[in-house]
Every structure is written in C-alpha cells, then in structure tokens.
Copies of this chain bind each other. A is one copy, B any other.
C-alpha cells in the first residue's frame, strides 16, 4: 500500500514532521524512539501547535503525576470511560498501554466491554464507578460518592485524579471522534 492509499490519520490536515515547530518535532521524535512508531494523536494534534502543547502538558500532569493511583489504574479509567464515549482511538491505544502497564493481556478488553465483569479489585470497581459517573453525569456527583471512595481508601487527592483523568479523556474522546483520529495498527496487538 503506498502512502497515498493508507487510510487517513485524521480528517483534518496533518503536517509533515519537518514543517512542525521544533518543540513538537522533538516531542514526537522522543515518543517515536520510545515506542517505535508515532501514535496518531501526536500527528493529528500537530495541526494545532498551541492545542498540541496544552493537550500533552495536561495529559502528562494527570498521567505521569506521582500519587496513589497506579499507572495501570489510570489507564483503566481511560479505557472504561472512552469505551462508553465510543472513542475508537482512545480505547485501542490506551487499551494497549493498559495491557502493558498491568502486564495483563486480558484486562483492556474486559474493561472496554463491561468493567463490572472485569478481573479487578472492588476498590478498582469503585474507582471506575466514579470515573464513569463523572464522565456520564458529573452534575449528579455529591458527597455520598466521595464517601464511597473514601471507604475504599481513596484520598481527596486520588479523587481529584480520577475525576481529572475522566474529564480530560472525555475531551480527548470528543476530539478523536470529530477528527476521525485513526488508531495506529501497532496498538491492536501490543501487550497481548
């Protein structure tokens, strides 16, 4: 398949790497080196450099931040909420990351289809119940929900993290659906 025949990465223009601002090039080359390929979210958002920078700064602030939630748990939140938002890119790309982080080849597909039936702890189910509530009906969140999380050992800081990840990926899901952002073929089999 020639370049021209490959399915589009995004329905919006995708700049050539060489035409991108230097800091964005650098970030992309770094992820490429680490992963072996360039995840399409980088190419899609490079169309809007300022939004690219803010997006990944926000992403890193939530996903790389130290805290009580493990990296795998953060990815669980992404997969569970993105699946309900029917976001192909986020479920497939973060499903791969979840498999790797959790060292579990089954977990991502379980959570993507119905997290209530996944091989996770009760604490993780409570975490996902809250993440899904924030994603679907944040207007109804109240102190009773915080109390439930605290009974499972989550601190106020953890609760902010869960809500922040759910809210940020709710944005990301909408952008991916509007841009028809295509998951890289590599993601489908990573970590299986």
Contacts and interface: CB of A to CB of B under 8 A. Distances in A.
A53 interface: yes
A112 interface: yes
A180 to B, nearest CB: 6
Interface stretch (A17-25, A28-36, A79-87): A79-87
A182 B48 CA distance: 32
Contacts of A134: 174, 177-178
Q: Which DSSP category, helix, strand, loop or mixed, fits chain A's interface?
A: helix
A95 B141 CA distance: 23
Contacts of A124: none
A12 interface: yes
A26 interface: no
A78 interface: no
A5 to B, nearest CB: 12
Nearest to A177: B138
Number of contact residues on A: which range applies? Answer: 35 or more
Contact of A85 (B51, B61, B139): B139
Interface in A83-125: 83, 85-88, 91-92, 95, 105-106, 109-110, 112-114, 116-119
Interface string A149-188: 0000000100110011011101111110111101101001
A59 to B, nearest CB: 8
B116 A91 contact: no
Contacts of A119: 7
Interface of A: 7, 12-13, 47-48, 50-51, 53-55, 57-58, 60-62, 65, 83, 85-88, 91-92, 95, 105-106, 109-110, 112-114, 116-119, 134-135, 138-142, 156, 159-160, 163-164, 166-168, 170-175, 177-180, 182-183, 185, 188-189, 192
